[in-house]
Amino acid sequence: MRRTTRSAVLFGALLVVVLSSLPVATADPAADLPDPAARRSMAALDTAERVLAGEARPTDPSATLALRDLWLSRPDLAEGEEDEADALLARPTDGAADPHGNGYTVPATSTCGPTTCIHHVATTADAPPSADWVSLTLATMERVHDREVEQLGFRPPVSDGTAGGDARVDVYLKDLGTGLYGYCAAEKRVSGRTASGFCVLDNDYSNEQFPSPTTPEQDLAVTAAHEFFHAVQFAYDYTEDPWMLESTATWMEEQVADDVNDNRQYLRYSQLRAPFVPLDAVSSTYGFQYGNWIFWEYLSQRFGPGIVKRVWRAAPRRYSLAAINNALSRKRQTLPEVYADFAAANTHPLDSYAEAPGVPEFAPAPALADVTLTRATRRHKERASIDHLASETVHVRPAAELTGRRWRLRVAVRGPRSPVVGAARLVLHRVDGTVATRRLRFNKRGRAVQRAPFAASKVVAVTISIVNASTRFRCGRQTDFACRGIARDDDERFTVVATAIRTRKRR
């Protein structure tokens, strides 16, 4: 996909993104099935079994998405396989009806608040450590509901009627094992693309099973915020693209439990650090879909947090990128232009994000090239191949000998001829610490030219951000990208030529 060499880790990340949409070369119980829908449903069943058993492969989705995919594909399963799917999708209180061992083996009790019921048992490994932990979980879920529904204005989870005892949201405490913090499962289609469901959280987040810098209480706070928002998402569109489901849920952690900052761990695999990986990429190994919560943070800082709600309101009739574009149109903006601004902002995150100063995770990605122009070497040319909703940067610095106001930097960018693909921004880093961003305008031939000050006494560097802003897809190709599709404009070629020029003195 890319011709530019990166570190082995980031190359591996790209490889996982590519391979995640290809058949796995291992024993596949669905391989001999003639019907594509039957093959997909069997693959979903196999995946859900692995994930809930703690045997997930690097390319497997989260438990919530694995169960969502299984639930969607259940109608295509054979009769005996339907029983297996129902067991995986069962509530813990179904007990013996779950032969996979995920059900409670003793009677459960419920502790309820105004909007939520916490279901738990008194004995076995599933028992919470104390009554105080149950009370803390209930209080946490009620705060999450208040923040996400009452304050931010998102829809409440769809009522399940009396499936868990009454219409309140049902949360089950279980010993989920090492690494699985929680999940929410869709259960019953209500109307359109909305569904009711229930959530399962670990019963104690013990340090033995969840070794991390965070405390069990902090793990509970961020997991509750994240998983409850999955239940909220099911009230809009349970079929939505995987990257949007996970990235907005991770963004919600910032809105509910801002002091925990657990989601910062994913930023190294976001477009801050890997801008050449498409925004809608999904990888369970590297977690791009979690790291790109930063995109929603950028949108909410620029337009207010209500922009995320507007996107979800548009989602039932559109796939993720179309829903974003629809919401931005209310602001007289387009996704390609806003995405180009986002890519440029990520080249100087300390100036772009309120929480960035002093936080190492907000470091910008290494540039494609970082060059210094001198009197003797005034020109630099760089080529790159860029996939959809991805970018590259070139840093150009003036040598100390380039003094005087007459020095300018001429930037020429050649990109695709299509006006919906190429975009570029020029970021001027001044000696006084201020930053200015300029838009480069492409003509019909895919050419853009811009000049900027380049005297060493005034300018530290000029960053050229080149962007493939395409959102065009061939949908329904069973990939993990937007609309389950294949991008129409991947691997587009760009050329950047930066030249230090000395303008003539006016007479």
- CA atoms of 70 and 82, how far apart (whole Å): 10
Is 465 a member of any domain?
yes
- Quickly tell me which residue has 């209180």 as its tokens: 93
Instruction: List the structure tokens of 58.
Output: 């690097």
Residue 506, pLDDT score: 58
CATH number of the domain residue 432 falls in: 2.60.120.1050
- Quickly tell me which residue has 């540039």 as its tokens: 367
Of 89, 108, 126, which residue is a domain's last? 89
- CA atoms of 65 and 69, how far apart (whole Å): 6
**CB contact at 8 A, 405 and 379:** no
Residue 44, pLDDT score: 94
The neighbouring-strand residues paired with 108 are 121
- Quickly tell me which residue has 């793990």 as its tokens: 219
Q: What is the residue-wise DSSP string for 152-172?
A: S-PPPPBP-TTTTSSSSEEEE
- CA atoms of 204 and 487, how far apart (whole Å): 43
Considering its fold, how many domains does the chain have in total? 2
Element containing residue 426 per DSSP (H, E): strand 422-430
Is 68 a member of any domain?
yes
In tens, the pLDDT along 374-386 reads: 999 999 999 999 9
Measured between its terminal Cα atoms, the distance across the chain in Å is 52
Residue 60, pLDDT score: 84
Residue 482, pLDDT score: 97
Element containing residue 187 per DSSP (H, E): strand 182-191
Instruction: List the structure tokens of 267.
Output: 């930023």
Residue 402 amino acid letter: L
In tens, the pLDDT along 97-117 reads: 665 567 999 999 999 999 999
Instruction: List the structure tokens of 33.
Output: 């099935």
Is 349 a member of any domain?
no
Query: What is the total residue count of the chain?
Result: 507
Which residues, 6 or more positions from 262, have their beta carbon under 8 angstroms from its beta carbon? 212, 214, 218, 219, 222, 253
Triad 480, 484, 487: Cα angle to 5°: 90
Is 324 a member of any domain?
no
Which residues, 6 or more positions from 419, have their beta carbon under 8 angstroms from its beta carbon? 442, 444
Is 410 a member of any domain?
yes
What is the pTM assigned to this prediction?
A: 0.92
- CA atoms of 67 and 45, how far apart (whole Å): 9
Is 335 a member of any domain?
no
- Quickly tell me which residue has 């772009």 as its tokens: 352
The neighbouring-strand residues paired with 462 are 396, 428
In tens, the pLDDT along 403-461 reads: 988 999 999 999 998 878 999 999 999 999 999 999 999 999 999 999 999 999 999 99
**CB contact at 8 A, 182 and 176:** yes
Q: Over the range 373-395, which residues count as b (16 or more CB within 10 Å of their CB) and which as e?
A: beeeebebebebbbbbbbbbbbb
Which residues, 6 or more positions from 22, have their beta carbon under 8 angstroms from its beta carbon? none
Quickly count: other Cβ atoms within 10 Å of residue 372's Cβ. Answer: 16
Is 286 a member of any domain?
no
Long-range pairs of 315-319 with CB within 8 A, sequence gap ≥ 24: 315/236, 315/237, 315/240, 315/244, 316/192, 316/193, 316/194, 316/236, 316/237, 319/240, 319/241, 319/473, 319/475, 319/482, 319/483
Domain of 66, in residue numbers: 1-89
Residue 328 amino acid letter: L
Of 64, 89, 114, which residue is a domain's last? 89
Average confidence (pLDDT) per 10 residues, the chain, 507 residues: 36 40 40 71 93 82 94 91 91 78 90 98 97 98 98 97 95 91 95 95 95 94 98 98 98 96 95 97 92 98 97 96 97 97 97 95 94 98 98 98 94 91 96 97 95 96 97 94 96 98 76
Of 38, 56, 89, which residue is a domain's last? 89
